[in-house]
Homo-oligomer: A and B are copies of this chain.
Protein backbone atom coordinates (compact mmCIF):
# COMPACT_ATOMS: atom_id res chain seq x y z
CA UNK A 1 0.00 0.00 0.00
CA UNK A 2 1.35 3.40 -0.93
CA UNK A 3 -0.10 6.89 -0.72
CA UNK A 4 -1.43 8.57 2.38
CA UNK A 5 -3.43 6.72 5.03
CA UNK A 6 -6.66 8.14 6.38
CA UNK A 7 -7.68 7.58 9.97
CA UNK A 8 -11.29 8.06 11.06
CA UNK A 9 -11.37 9.61 14.52
CA UNK A 10 -14.25 9.68 16.98
CA UNK A 11 -13.27 13.05 18.44
CA UNK A 12 -15.69 12.69 21.38
CA UNK A 13 -14.51 9.32 22.72
CA UNK A 14 -12.56 8.92 25.97
CA UNK A 15 -12.80 10.29 29.49
CA UNK A 16 -11.21 13.51 28.37
CA UNK A 17 -12.85 13.74 24.93
CA UNK A 18 -11.60 16.02 22.13
CA UNK A 19 -8.59 17.41 24.00
CA UNK A 20 -6.91 13.98 24.14
CA UNK A 21 -8.01 13.05 20.63
CA UNK A 22 -6.78 16.21 18.88
CA UNK A 23 -3.65 16.32 21.05
CA UNK A 24 -2.93 12.69 20.19
CA UNK A 25 -3.58 13.28 16.51
CA UNK A 26 -1.04 16.13 16.57
CA UNK A 27 1.65 13.88 18.06
CA UNK A 28 0.94 11.04 15.65
CA UNK A 29 0.91 13.39 12.66
CA UNK A 30 4.28 14.76 13.65
CA UNK A 31 5.73 11.24 13.53
CA UNK A 32 3.81 9.97 10.47
CA UNK A 33 3.41 13.12 8.36
CA UNK A 34 1.57 11.44 5.46
CA UNK A 35 -1.39 10.68 7.72
CA UNK A 36 -4.79 12.20 7.10
CA UNK A 37 -7.85 12.35 9.37
CA UNK A 38 -11.61 12.28 8.99
CA UNK A 39 -12.92 13.54 12.27
CA UNK A 40 -16.39 13.34 13.78
CA UNK A 41 -17.66 15.27 16.80
CA UNK A 42 -19.45 18.28 18.20
CA UNK A 43 -18.27 21.36 16.37
CA UNK A 44 -18.37 23.62 19.43
CA UNK A 45 -16.03 21.30 21.31
CA UNK A 46 -13.71 20.33 18.47
CA UNK A 47 -13.32 23.53 16.44
CA UNK A 48 -11.32 25.51 19.04
CA UNK A 49 -8.92 22.60 19.39
CA UNK A 50 -8.44 22.35 15.62
CA UNK A 51 -7.77 26.08 15.58
CA UNK A 52 -5.14 25.55 18.24
CA UNK A 53 -3.54 22.76 16.17
CA UNK A 54 -3.54 24.15 12.61
CA UNK A 55 -1.35 21.29 11.35
CA UNK A 56 -4.01 18.78 12.42
CA UNK A 57 -6.75 20.98 10.99
CA UNK A 58 -4.94 21.08 7.66
CA UNK A 59 -4.70 17.28 7.54
CA UNK A 60 -8.33 16.77 8.55
CA UNK A 61 -11.82 16.74 7.16
CA UNK A 62 -14.21 17.55 9.99
CA UNK A 63 -17.86 16.48 10.20
CA UNK A 64 -20.17 17.79 12.88
CA UNK A 65 -22.28 15.22 14.79
CA UNK A 66 -25.00 16.09 17.28
CA UNK A 67 -24.84 12.87 19.21
CA UNK A 68 -22.07 11.65 21.47
CA UNK A 69 -22.03 8.13 22.90
CA UNK A 70 -21.40 8.41 26.64
CA UNK A 71 -18.75 6.38 28.43
CA UNK A 72 -21.40 4.74 30.60
CA UNK A 73 -24.01 4.02 27.91
CA UNK A 74 -24.91 0.37 27.69
CA UNK A 75 -24.26 -1.06 24.22
CA UNK A 76 -27.99 -1.36 23.51
CA UNK A 77 -28.60 2.27 24.63
CA UNK A 78 -25.73 3.49 22.51
CA UNK A 79 -27.08 1.72 19.46
CA UNK A 80 -30.57 3.07 20.04
CA UNK A 81 -29.43 6.64 20.56
CA UNK A 82 -26.35 6.77 18.44
CA UNK A 83 -26.87 4.55 15.42
CA UNK A 84 -26.26 6.43 12.16
CA UNK A 85 -25.81 9.84 13.82
CA UNK A 86 -23.25 9.66 16.63
CA UNK A 87 -19.58 10.56 16.15
CA UNK A 88 -18.70 6.98 17.05
CA UNK A 89 -20.98 5.46 14.43
CA UNK A 90 -19.85 7.93 11.77
CA UNK A 91 -16.19 7.15 12.41
CA UNK A 92 -16.83 3.43 11.97
CA UNK A 93 -18.98 4.07 8.91
CA UNK A 94 -16.15 6.02 7.27
CA UNK A 95 -14.22 2.73 7.15
CA UNK A 96 -17.17 0.99 5.56
CA UNK A 97 -17.65 3.63 2.86
CA UNK A 98 -13.91 3.70 2.15
CA UNK A 99 -13.52 7.31 3.22
CA UNK A 100 -11.04 6.08 5.85
CA UNK A 101 -8.68 3.11 6.12
CA UNK A 102 -9.07 2.51 9.83
CA UNK A 103 -11.12 3.87 12.75
CA UNK A 104 -9.74 4.86 16.16
CA UNK A 105 -11.90 5.65 19.20
CA UNK A 106 -11.24 6.01 22.92
CA UNK A 107 -14.96 5.67 23.61
CA UNK A 108 -16.94 3.07 25.51
CA UNK A 109 -15.72 -0.42 24.47
CA UNK A 110 -19.06 -2.21 24.57
CA UNK A 111 -20.75 0.46 22.44
CA UNK A 112 -17.87 0.58 19.96
CA UNK A 113 -17.93 -3.18 19.52
CA UNK A 114 -21.72 -3.29 19.16
CA UNK A 115 -21.67 -0.53 16.52
CA UNK A 116 -18.71 -2.04 14.69
CA UNK A 117 -20.55 -5.37 14.43
CA UNK A 118 -23.76 -3.77 13.16
CA UNK A 119 -22.01 -1.42 10.76
CA UNK A 120 -19.12 -3.49 9.40
CA UNK A 121 -20.38 -7.06 9.92
CA UNK A 122 -18.09 -9.99 10.61
CA UNK A 123 -15.87 -11.52 7.93
CA UNK A 124 -17.42 -14.41 6.00
CA UNK A 125 -15.72 -17.19 8.00
CA UNK A 126 -15.91 -15.59 11.43
CA UNK A 127 -18.82 -16.06 13.81
CA UNK A 128 -17.81 -13.46 16.38
CA UNK A 129 -15.12 -10.79 16.46
CA UNK A 130 -12.29 -10.61 19.01
CA UNK A 131 -10.36 -7.84 20.72
CA UNK A 132 -6.62 -8.32 20.41
CA UNK A 133 -4.16 -6.69 22.83
CA UNK A 134 -0.47 -6.04 22.30
CA UNK A 135 1.28 -7.37 25.37
CA UNK A 136 4.77 -6.32 26.51
CA UNK A 137 6.79 -9.44 27.40
CA UNK A 138 10.31 -10.25 28.57
CA UNK A 139 11.17 -11.10 24.96
CA UNK A 140 9.44 -8.16 23.26
CA UNK A 141 5.75 -8.11 22.44
CA UNK A 142 3.05 -10.71 21.96
CA UNK A 143 -0.54 -10.51 20.79
CA UNK A 144 -3.25 -11.81 23.13
CA UNK A 145 -6.82 -12.36 21.97
CA UNK A 146 -9.69 -12.29 22.85
CA UNK A 147 -9.48 -9.86 25.77
CA UNK A 148 -13.19 -9.25 26.14
CA UNK A 149 -15.38 -9.28 23.02
CA UNK A 150 -16.79 -12.79 23.31
CA UNK A 151 -17.68 -14.93 26.30
CA UNK A 152 -17.12 -18.65 25.84
CA UNK A 153 -15.70 -19.32 22.38
CA UNK A 154 -16.06 -22.78 20.82
CA UNK A 155 -13.09 -24.64 19.38
CA UNK A 156 -13.65 -23.45 15.81
CA UNK A 157 -13.72 -19.83 16.90
CA UNK A 158 -10.56 -20.30 18.96
CA UNK A 159 -8.78 -21.62 15.87
CA UNK A 160 -10.02 -18.63 13.87
CA UNK A 161 -8.67 -16.36 16.63
CA UNK A 162 -5.33 -18.13 16.27
CA UNK A 163 -5.26 -17.49 12.52
CA UNK A 164 -6.25 -13.83 12.92
CA UNK A 165 -3.74 -13.26 15.72
CA UNK A 166 -1.06 -14.82 13.54
CA UNK A 167 -1.91 -12.43 10.70
CA UNK A 168 -1.66 -9.52 13.11
CA UNK A 169 1.79 -10.56 14.34
CA UNK A 170 2.92 -10.93 10.75
CA UNK A 171 1.57 -7.46 9.92
CA UNK A 172 3.13 -5.88 13.01
CA UNK A 173 6.51 -7.57 13.23
CA UNK A 174 7.03 -9.32 9.90
CA UNK A 175 7.34 -12.76 11.51
CA UNK A 176 6.49 -15.17 8.71
CA UNK A 177 4.94 -18.01 10.73
CA UNK A 178 4.19 -16.79 14.24
CA UNK A 179 4.10 -19.24 17.13
CA UNK A 180 0.71 -19.72 18.79
CA UNK A 181 -0.32 -21.07 22.19
CA UNK A 182 -3.73 -21.76 23.69
CA UNK A 183 -4.19 -20.35 27.19
CA UNK A 184 -5.08 -23.19 29.51
CA UNK A 185 -4.57 -24.36 33.05
CA UNK A 186 -1.84 -26.98 33.28
CA UNK A 187 -0.01 -28.05 30.17
CA UNK A 188 -0.93 -31.72 30.39
CA UNK A 189 -3.38 -33.14 27.89
CA UNK A 190 -5.86 -34.05 30.57
CA UNK A 191 -6.37 -30.62 31.92
CA UNK A 192 -8.42 -27.65 31.00
CA UNK A 193 -11.54 -26.78 29.11
CA UNK A 194 -12.90 -29.18 26.52
CA UNK A 195 -13.20 -26.42 23.87
CA UNK A 196 -9.56 -25.50 24.39
CA UNK A 197 -8.46 -29.12 24.11
CA UNK A 198 -10.53 -29.58 20.94
CA UNK A 199 -9.02 -26.43 19.40
CA UNK A 200 -5.57 -27.80 20.25
CA UNK A 201 -6.33 -31.10 18.54
CA UNK A 202 -7.65 -29.27 15.46
CA UNK A 203 -4.48 -27.19 15.11
CA UNK A 204 -2.19 -30.14 15.74
CA UNK A 205 -3.95 -32.39 13.21
CA UNK A 206 -4.35 -29.70 10.61
CA UNK A 207 -1.42 -28.46 8.62
CA UNK A 208 -1.62 -24.82 9.69
CA UNK A 209 0.26 -22.91 7.04
CA UNK A 210 0.22 -19.41 8.47
CA UNK A 211 0.93 -20.25 12.12
CA UNK A 212 3.11 -22.57 14.15
CA UNK A 213 0.95 -24.10 16.89
CA UNK A 214 2.98 -24.84 20.03
CA UNK A 215 0.39 -26.27 22.44
CA UNK A 216 -1.02 -25.01 25.71
CA UNK A 217 0.45 -22.11 27.65
CA UNK A 218 -0.32 -20.97 31.19
CA UNK A 219 -0.94 -17.53 32.65
CA UNK A 220 2.71 -16.95 33.51
CA UNK A 221 3.82 -17.75 29.94
CA UNK A 222 2.19 -14.58 28.64
CA UNK A 223 4.65 -12.18 30.27
CA UNK A 224 7.48 -14.56 29.54
CA UNK A 225 6.73 -14.24 25.82
CA UNK A 226 6.71 -18.01 25.28
CA UNK A 227 4.67 -17.62 22.08
CA UNK A 228 3.91 -14.77 19.65
CA UNK A 229 0.13 -15.24 19.88
CA UNK A 230 -1.83 -16.27 22.97
CA UNK A 231 -5.38 -17.42 22.22
CA UNK A 232 -8.21 -17.51 24.76
CA UNK A 233 -11.90 -16.75 24.98
CA UNK A 234 -12.86 -13.30 26.16
CA UNK A 235 -13.86 -13.93 29.77
CA UNK A 236 -10.51 -15.38 30.85
CA UNK A 237 -8.70 -13.05 28.46
CA UNK A 238 -10.22 -9.96 29.99
CA UNK A 239 -9.50 -11.17 33.51
CA UNK A 240 -5.92 -11.93 32.48
CA UNK A 241 -5.47 -8.43 31.05
CA UNK A 242 -6.95 -6.65 34.05
CA UNK A 243 -4.98 -8.88 36.40
CA UNK A 244 -1.69 -7.97 34.73
CA UNK A 245 -2.56 -4.26 34.79
CA UNK A 246 -3.56 -4.49 38.44
CA UNK A 247 -0.43 -6.36 39.46
CA UNK A 248 1.79 -3.84 37.66
CA UNK A 249 0.05 -0.97 39.44
CA UNK A 250 0.33 -2.78 42.78
CA UNK A 251 4.07 -3.36 42.40
CA UNK A 252 4.59 0.24 41.27
CA UNK A 253 2.88 1.29 44.50
CA UNK A 254 5.09 -1.02 46.60
CA UNK A 255 8.15 0.32 44.83
CA UNK A 256 7.24 3.95 45.47
CA UNK A 257 6.63 3.35 49.15
CA UNK A 258 9.80 1.24 49.48
CA UNK A 259 11.87 4.11 47.99
CA UNK A 260 10.50 6.59 50.51
CA UNK A 261 11.44 4.50 53.56
CA UNK A 262 14.86 5.94 54.55
CA UNK A 263 17.01 8.90 53.51
CA UNK A 264 19.48 6.39 52.01
CA UNK A 265 16.80 4.91 49.80
CA UNK A 266 15.65 8.42 48.82
CA UNK A 267 19.16 9.31 47.82
CA UNK A 268 19.48 5.99 45.97
CA UNK A 269 16.27 6.81 44.17
CA UNK A 270 17.65 10.16 43.04
CA UNK A 271 20.82 8.58 41.69
CA UNK A 272 18.95 5.80 39.94
CA UNK A 273 16.29 8.15 38.62
CA UNK A 274 17.01 7.51 34.94
CA UNK A 275 16.71 3.78 35.58
CA UNK A 276 13.34 4.30 37.24
CA UNK A 277 12.20 6.42 34.34
CA UNK A 278 13.27 3.67 31.97
CA UNK A 279 11.29 1.20 34.05
CA UNK A 280 8.25 3.46 34.15
CA UNK A 281 8.35 3.72 30.39
CA UNK A 282 8.51 -0.06 30.06
CA UNK A 283 5.53 -0.42 32.37
CA UNK A 284 3.56 2.46 30.86
CA UNK A 285 0.36 1.16 29.32
CA UNK A 286 0.19 4.12 26.93
CA UNK A 287 3.11 2.65 25.00
CA UNK A 288 1.02 -0.29 23.92
CA UNK A 289 -2.31 1.45 24.12
CA UNK A 290 -5.06 0.00 22.04
CA UNK A 291 -7.16 -3.08 21.56
CA UNK A 292 -7.65 -4.09 17.95
CA UNK A 293 -11.03 -5.44 16.87
CA UNK A 294 -10.39 -8.41 14.58
CA UNK A 295 -12.82 -10.41 12.49
CA UNK A 296 -14.77 -7.52 11.02
CA UNK A 297 -14.84 -6.09 7.49
CA UNK A 298 -12.59 -3.25 8.57
CA UNK A 299 -10.09 -2.44 11.31
CA UNK A 300 -11.25 -0.61 14.42
CA UNK A 301 -8.83 0.35 17.19
CA UNK A 302 -10.04 0.93 20.70
CA UNK A 303 -7.80 3.22 22.75
CA UNK A 304 -8.03 3.18 26.55
CA UNK A 305 -10.73 5.61 27.70
CA UNK A 306 -8.46 7.03 30.38
CA UNK A 307 -5.43 7.57 28.16
CA UNK A 308 -3.60 10.83 27.58
CA UNK A 309 -2.57 12.40 24.26
CA UNK A 310 0.60 10.28 24.10
CA UNK A 311 -1.39 7.11 24.60
CA UNK A 312 -3.96 8.15 22.01
CA UNK A 313 -1.14 8.91 19.57
CA UNK A 314 0.15 5.32 20.01
CA UNK A 315 -3.28 3.97 19.16
CA UNK A 316 -3.46 6.17 16.05
CA UNK A 317 0.02 5.10 14.96
CA UNK A 318 -0.87 1.47 15.56
CA UNK A 319 -3.82 1.93 13.22
CA UNK A 320 -1.60 3.58 10.63
CA UNK A 321 0.98 0.77 10.82
CA UNK A 322 -1.70 -1.89 10.52
CA UNK A 323 -3.03 -0.35 7.34
CA UNK A 324 0.49 0.16 6.00
CA UNK A 325 1.18 -3.53 6.42
CA UNK A 326 -2.19 -4.59 5.01
CA UNK A 327 -3.46 -6.28 8.13
CA UNK A 328 -7.00 -6.81 6.89
CA UNK A 329 -5.83 -8.35 3.62
CA UNK A 330 -3.50 -10.67 5.52
CA UNK A 331 -6.32 -11.81 7.79
CA UNK A 332 -8.65 -12.46 4.88
CA UNK A 333 -5.96 -14.38 2.99
CA UNK A 334 -4.99 -16.51 5.97
CA UNK A 335 -8.58 -17.32 6.83
CA UNK A 336 -9.27 -18.27 3.22
CA UNK A 337 -6.19 -20.43 3.07
CA UNK A 338 -7.28 -22.16 6.26
CA UNK A 339 -10.96 -22.55 5.48
CA UNK A 340 -10.58 -23.71 1.88
CA UNK A 341 -8.03 -26.38 2.75
CA UNK A 342 -9.18 -29.71 4.13
CA UNK A 343 -10.24 -28.94 7.65
CA UNK A 344 -10.37 -32.25 9.48
CA UNK A 345 -13.25 -33.02 11.77
CA UNK A 346 -12.13 -32.68 15.38
CA UNK A 347 -10.56 -36.08 16.09
CA UNK A 348 -11.90 -37.98 19.08
CA UNK A 349 -9.81 -37.82 22.20
CA UNK A 350 -7.53 -40.78 22.90
| A residues in contact (CB < 8 Å) with B | 74-76, 110, 137-138, 148, 151-152, 183, 185-186, 188, 190-193, 218-224, 232, 234-236, 238-251, 253-255, 258-259, 261-262, 264-265, 267-276, 278-279, 282-283
Contact = CB atoms under 8 A, between A and B. Distances in A.
Contact of A250 (B138, B242, B276, B278): B138
Contacts of A241: 219
Contacts of A276: 258
Contact of A251 (B218, B219, B232, B251): B251
7 contacts: A110-B186, A220-B245, A221-B246, A244-B247, A267-B268, A268-B270, A268-B273
Contacts of A258: 272, 275-276, 278-279, 282
Copies, count: 2
A221 B241 CA distance: 12
B251 A283 contact: yes
Nearest to A244: B247
Shortest Cβ-Cβ A-B pairs, 6 listed: A219-B242, A268-B272, A220-B246, A268-B271, A265-B275, A223-B250
A166 to B, nearest CB: 21
Contacts of A238: 185, 218-219
